[in-house]
């Protein structure tokens, strides 16, 4: 059944008309009938909260499930820098077409043109919507909206709310959601984790969850299931993602038949605070917006013992400005990250562990004054000071790349439906719009486009023909069987009673992933990872120690389930990286680079979306390819010189 | 460094709970306070004891999950800092540190240091939004907002909903949280149509759960986002005006 649904469903016609035509062509559910449909939304980040709120407004009966204690705490809250929109308020030559083009190019020609074009079109509506909700975006003295620039673009199209854009956008969506909860259109189940997708007759009909406080396993059934469960960066253990972000929802859906696309497309963010010791539990991002005013440099000589202020201008290497004069400090993330790695590997790293490069705002401070810098980045400066104990107003910040975002995810068609009918996947959890590399300030845009505008317009097409059918009752054998599977797995984890903690396994997995499948990958390193991960997984099931019980709040048990999934998923990620014999975007294969170390794409052989089908625990997964065609943005070697 | 932790342990909502003493050595001054708990938990697991439950997620002071009462102060000694942003370099070597959960009737303890803060969600649901269903918005720049107003709204909107204000208040009042949420919206032009109904609904809902404010000001000093107590004055002003407003005559229903 699933194979037949592996079809992008991109509508015909000129790219700028596809979405409008499509909205006209899809089936609709009339307002009076919408309350007869129950939709389950898992995840309350930007994508999930905006989708649930909008579906509630439209009149659908929505069940919202999140493992967080409040929808407002979803990982989206942490986004700092901003959100893109093709408003062209700066009169600097921006347009929907340019945002589309920049995004396809930034993604290194591995995304679907039609999806990206739609995203660029909807970007302008998002800003309107958020302003109407009261999102306090930064403004000019005349009262109109302010913008800044982000990497990979030569225009200023990023809207922001101090360094807390994600927080403000999420609060906007959360408040709209709260209103729907109040009106009774959305029912909220917090501290509830989805642990299985339930399928009947080939269609998604519900989910099985575990209540994190009581341990109770419970089924929810609906006419459609929407996963908006975020990214999987934490497979690397150390990342900029919130500690609880995980792959469980889309992984368990994968094991029930939903394809996973391009898992090897992971993004390393160039500007994070370098790790300081072995206790490090996560890495902290310093927003890319700092690259607007900051200059990146290292000492020109290796192992320079001097502090930054002792190194004269002539003995500094502003390597991004030198190597990429056109974009300078604003080259895309993948390019900036690899350039930093090259400097550190060559022994020009700075800081106590020599594991960073400088991001220097001191020039901008003397040029613009401390007030201006404060206004733009105050909370980031404070954050840096707290973590490192160093004052970034006096000495340059130290930064280094860290895992930050995952472009891969559940495969979805133009309607955001996976190959399993009735299962939709939104936001970072899907693979759809960013190709092999995401541009800064585009994840918030995608999450909100998916949730506010795309899903609400496309879901009717699937639901309309189901009018008159009730959701499958939760005492149906498909549900009870799945509940039994979930309960079994929980029992199994508790019964191992081994000697090593869940975190130990997570850290070990992270080391393997970062070492062998991080910023640079090779056949050799990937084959090592593919040998080490199954061994670690085997040890997990033999030797993990999960104390406590199922029937109460048990954070080790929660983590154990997530790490068990990472231990399976990590292998698929490496397998995907191995099959992709090219370098593109965030996926850099040492075997495939130009003479000056730039990524070398292979459009003849790899211009496709790699979508993996699960075939069972002991069988190799099968790769399906969705060919990518570029009618508008023609692939060229990306050049930011 | 070495520290002695005096940690509140409580198995569940109806258990009685007690302090437990743990000595933790090999503490790095660069460690965050939550990393200290990671290390403690690793060691407890090795010994076969259940780890300490505590809420956390972003670990960068924005999600509002972390919530520890440290030596009697919400989020510890440093101003404008959430627990996750507090680093061990702020403590003396050899220090004894007492760690408890937020204590307030409206925040029942779930386990150890975790509490249930869903009363905050109820306050937002009662009116903490602008009614603007998706699709109804006009072009964004048709609503100019004076920069000062946008900045003030943002100051209020910076609230992370952690509950430190409630935990720090001798009356367990939630005025600072509620005021920040109300005034973020009430200051903006987009928030005017629902201004009076919003403040009444949210204040009334708040009072169902929380104690009343007697102007101690502990909330402001505990707030990791340093949200000003002035917002409480604005909220009170709005609330009183809302009570007396001839809302029918000015086109606002009660
Ligand atoms: C530090 C940082 C800064 C960033 N800055 C920017 C920026 O400036 N601009 C930009 O565009 N992007 C930025 N990003 C990226 C962006 O924040 C994310 O990609 C985006 O917010 C993801 O939103 P989402 O709705 O898809 O998922 P999330 O916000 O991650 O939400 C996932 C939700 O799913 C729930 N969930 C997950 N699994 C389950 C399960 N099994 N059961 C129940 N619930 C589940 C969680 O509880 C949560 O509610 C940043 C990311 C980071 C890490
Ligand atoms: S863990 Fe998010 S604010 Fe502390």
The mean pLDDT of A49-77, rounded to a whole number, is 98
A4 burial level (CB within 10 Å; 0-12, 13-18, 19+):
exposed
Helix/strand/coil for A219: strand
For residue range B172-195, list pLDDT tens digits in order: 999 999 999 999 999 999 999 999
Q: Is the pTM of this model over 0.95?
A: yes
Helix/strand/coil for A589: strand
Q: Which ligand is located closest to the Cα atom of residue A167?
A: 1
Q: How far is CA A465 from CA A3, A261, A460, B64, in A?
A: 22, 28, 9, 43
Give the chain B residue nearest A45 (alpha carbons).
Answer: B63
- List CB contacts of A469: < 8 A, sequence separation 6 or more: A223
Chain A residues 54-83 with CB within 8 Å of chain B: 54, 57, 68-73, 75, 77-78
Per-residue pLDDT at A501 exceeds 70: yes
Rounded CA-CA distance B126/B115 in Å is: 22
Q: Which of A268, A195, A250 is nearest to A485 (CA)?
A: A195
Give the chain A residue nearest B150 (alpha carbons).
Answer: A136
Q: pLDDT > 90: what percent of chain B?
A: 95
Contact A39/A206 with Cβ under 8 angstroms?
A: no
For residue range A600-621, list pLDDT tens digits in order: 999 999 999 999 999 999 999 9
Per-residue pLDDT at B247 exceeds 80: no
Per-residue pLDDT at A430 exceeds 80: yes
Domain spans of chain A? 3-80+159-268+405-466, 272-402, 477-599
List chain A residues with CB under 8 Å of B163: none
The mean pLDDT of B213-229, rounded to a whole number, is 96
B252 band by pLDDT with thresholds 50, 70 and 90: low
Helices A46-58 and A455-463: angle between axes, nearest 10 degrees: 60
pLDDT value for A1: 45
Tokens 């929109």 map to which residue?
Answer: A85
Interval between CA A43 and ligand 1 midpoint (Å): 9
pLDDT value for B60: 92
Chain B residues 86-145 with CB within 8 Å of chain A: 86-87, 89, 110-111, 114, 116-118, 120-121, 124-126, 128-141, 143-145
Per-residue pLDDT at A411 exceeds 60: yes
Q: Euclidean distance between the first and final Cα of chain B, in Å? A: 60
Tokens 């935990």 map to which residue?
Answer: B167
- What CATH code would you report for A477-599? 1.20.58.100
Output the average pLDDT for chain A: 95
- List CB contacts of A364: < 8 A, sequence separation 6 or more: A293, A294, A373
What's the gap between Cα A249 and its chain centre? 14
For residue range A134-172, list pLDDT tens digits in order: 999 999 999 999 998 887 788 999 999 988 999 999 999
Contact A524/B25 with Cβ under 8 angstroms?
A: no
DSSP string, A437-468: SPPTT-HHHHHHIIIIIIHHHHHHHHHGGGTT
List chain A residues with CB under 8 Å of B191: 134
ipTM of predicted complex = 0.97
Interval between CA B86 and ligand 1 midpoint (Å): 24
pLDDT value for A354: 93
Judge: B56–A243 Cβ closer than 8 Å, yes or no: yes
For residue range A545-593, list pLDDT tens digits in order: 999 999 999 999 999 999 999 999 999 999 999 999 999 999 999 999 9
A536 burial level (CB within 10 Å; 0-12, 13-18, 19+):
middle
Specify the CATH architecture of the domain A3-80+159-268+405-466. 3-Layer(bba) Sandwich (3.50)
Domain spans of chain B? 3-111, 117-250
- A111–B contact, CB cutoff 8 A: no
Q: Among positive and negative, which fits the CA dihedral A25, A222, A419, A108? A: positive
Per-residue pLDDT at A641 exceeds 90: no
Contact A217/A210 with Cβ under 8 angstroms?
A: yes
Q: Which of A597, A608, A609 is nearest to A335 (CA)?
A: A597
- A174–B contact, CB cutoff 8 A: yes
Helices B195-209 and B230-244: angle between axes, nearest 10 degrees: 110
B250 band by pLDDT with thresholds 50, 70 and 90: low
For residue range B113-133, list pLDDT tens digits in order: 999 999 999 999 999 999 999
**Backbone angles phi and psi of A36, in degrees to 5:** -80, -5
Output the average pLDDT for chain B: 95
Rounded CA-CA distance A502/A564 in Å is: 9
- CATH class entry, domain B3-111: alpha beta
CB atoms within 10 A of CB B41: 20
- What CATH code would you report for A272-402? 3.90.700.10
- What CATH code would you report for B117-250? 1.10.1060.10
For residue range A6-20, list pLDDT tens digits in order: 999 999 999 999 999
Q: In chain A, what is the greatest distance between 2 CA atoms, to the nearest angstrom? A: 76
CB atoms within 10 A of CB A465: 10
Q: How many residues does chain A have?
A: 641
B248 band by pLDDT with thresholds 50, 70 and 90: low
Q: What is the DSSP letter of A355?
A: -
């Amino acid at each position: 059944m699933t194979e037949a649904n592996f079809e992008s469903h991109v509508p015909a016609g000129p790219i700028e008309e596809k979405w409008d035509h499509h909205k006209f062509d899809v089936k609709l559910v009339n307002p009076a009938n919408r309350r007869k449909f129950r939709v389950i939304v898992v995840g309350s980040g930007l994508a999930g909260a905006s989708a649930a709120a909008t579906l509630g407004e439209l009149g659908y009966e929505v069940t919202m499930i999140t493992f967080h204690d409040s929808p407002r705490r979803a990982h989206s809250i942490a986004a700092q820098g901003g959100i893109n929109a093709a408003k062209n308020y700066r009169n600097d030559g921006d347009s929907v077409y340019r945002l589309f083009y920049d995004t396809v190019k930034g993604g290194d020609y591995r995304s679907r043109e039609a999806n990206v074009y739609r995203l660029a079109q909807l970007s302008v509506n998002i800003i309107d919507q958020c302003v109407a909700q009261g999102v306090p975006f930064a403004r000019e003295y005349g009262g109109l909206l302010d913008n800044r620039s982000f990497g990979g673009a030569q225009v200023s199209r990023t809207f922001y709310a101090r360094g807390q854009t994600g927080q403000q956008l999420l609060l906007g969506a959360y408040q709209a959601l709260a209103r729907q909860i109040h009106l009774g259109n959305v029912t909220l189940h917090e501290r509830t984790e989805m642990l299985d997708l339930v399928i009947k007759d080939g269609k998604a009909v519900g989910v099985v969850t575990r209540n994190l406080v009581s341990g109770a396993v419970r089924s929810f059934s609906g006419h459609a299931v929407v996963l908006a469960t975020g990214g999987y960066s934490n497979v690397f253990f150390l990342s900029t993602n919130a500690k609880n972000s995980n792959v469980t929802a889309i992984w368990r859906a994968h094991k029930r038949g939903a394809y996973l696309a391009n898992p090897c497309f992971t993004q390393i963010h160039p500007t994070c605070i370098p790790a300081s010791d072995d206790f490090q539990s996560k890495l902290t991002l310093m927003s890319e917006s700092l690259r607007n005013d900051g200059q990146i440099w290292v000492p020109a000589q290796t192992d320079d013992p001097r502090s930054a202020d002792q190194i004269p201008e002539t003995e500094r290497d502003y390597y991004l400005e030198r190597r990429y004069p056109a974009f300078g400090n604003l080259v895309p993330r993948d390019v900036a990250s690899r350039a930093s790695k090259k400097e550190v590997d060559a022994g020009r790293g700075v800081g106590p562990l020599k594991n960073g490069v400088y991001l220097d705002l001191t020039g901008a401070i003397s040029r613009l004054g401390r007030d201006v810098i404060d206004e733009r980045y105050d909370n980031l400066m404070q954050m840096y000071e707290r973590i490192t104990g160093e004052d970034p107003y006096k000495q340059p910040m130290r930064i280094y790349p860290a895992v930050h975002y995952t472009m891969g995810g559940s495969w979805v068609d133009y309607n955001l439906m996976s190959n399993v009918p009735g299962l939709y996947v939104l936001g970072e959890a899907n693979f759809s719009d960013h190709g092999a590399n995401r541009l800064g300030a585009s994840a918030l845009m995608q999450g909100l486009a998916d949730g506010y505008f795309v899903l609400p317009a496309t879901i009717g097409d699937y639901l309309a023909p189901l009018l008159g059918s009730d959701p499958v009752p939760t005492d149906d054998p498909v549900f009870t069987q799945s509940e039994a599977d979930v309960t079994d797995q929980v029992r199994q984890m508790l019964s191992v009673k081994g000697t090593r903690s869940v975190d130990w396994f997570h850290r070990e997995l992270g080391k393997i992933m970062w070492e062998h499948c991080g910023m640079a990958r090779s056949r050799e390193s990937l084959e090592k990872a593919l040998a080490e991960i199954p061994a670690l997984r085997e040890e997990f099931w033999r030797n993990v120690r999960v104390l406590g019980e199922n029937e109460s709040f048990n954070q080790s048990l929660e983590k154990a389930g997530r790490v068990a999934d990472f231990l399976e998923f990590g292998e698929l990620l490496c397998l995907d990286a191995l099959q992709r014999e090219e370098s593109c975007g965030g996926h850099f294969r040492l075997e495939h680079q130009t003479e000056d170390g730039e990524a070398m794409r292979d459009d003849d052989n790899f211009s496709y979306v790699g979508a993996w089908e699960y075939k069972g625990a002991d069988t190799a997964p099968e790769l399906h390819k969705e060919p990518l065609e570029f009618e508008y943005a023609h692939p060229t070697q990306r050049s930011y010189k | 460094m070495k520290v002695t932790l005096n940690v509140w342990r409580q198995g569940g909502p109806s258990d009685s709970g007690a302090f437990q003493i743990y000595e933790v050595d090999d503490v790095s001054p660069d460690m965050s306070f939550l990393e200290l708990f990671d290390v403690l938990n690793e060691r407890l697991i090795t010994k076969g004891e259940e780890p300490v439950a505590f809420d956390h997620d972003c670990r960068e002071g924005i999600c509002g999950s972390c919530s520890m009462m440290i030596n009697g102060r919400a989020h510890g000694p440093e101003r404008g800092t959430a627990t996750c942003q507090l680093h061990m370099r702020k403590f003396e070597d050899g220090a004894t540190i007492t760690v408890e959960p937020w204590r307030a009737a409206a925040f029942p303890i779930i386990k150890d240091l975790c509490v249930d803060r869903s009363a905050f969600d109820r306050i937002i649901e009662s009116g903490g939004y602008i009614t603007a269903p998706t699709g109804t918005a006009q072009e964004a720049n048709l609503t100019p907002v004076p920069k000062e107003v946008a900045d003030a709204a943002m100051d209020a909107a910076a609230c992370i909903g952690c509950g430190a204000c409630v935990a720090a208040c001798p009356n367990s009042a939630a005025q600072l949280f509620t005021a920040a949420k109300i005034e973020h919206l009430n200051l903006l032009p987009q928030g005017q149509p629902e201004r009076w109904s919003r403040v009444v609904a949210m204040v009334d809902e708040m009072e169902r759960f929380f104690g009343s404010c007697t102007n101690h000001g502990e909330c402001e000093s505990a707030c990791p986002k340093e949200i000003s107590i002035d917002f409480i004055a604005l909220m009170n002003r709005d609330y009183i005006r809302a009570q007396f407003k001839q809302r029918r005559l000015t086109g606002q229903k009660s």
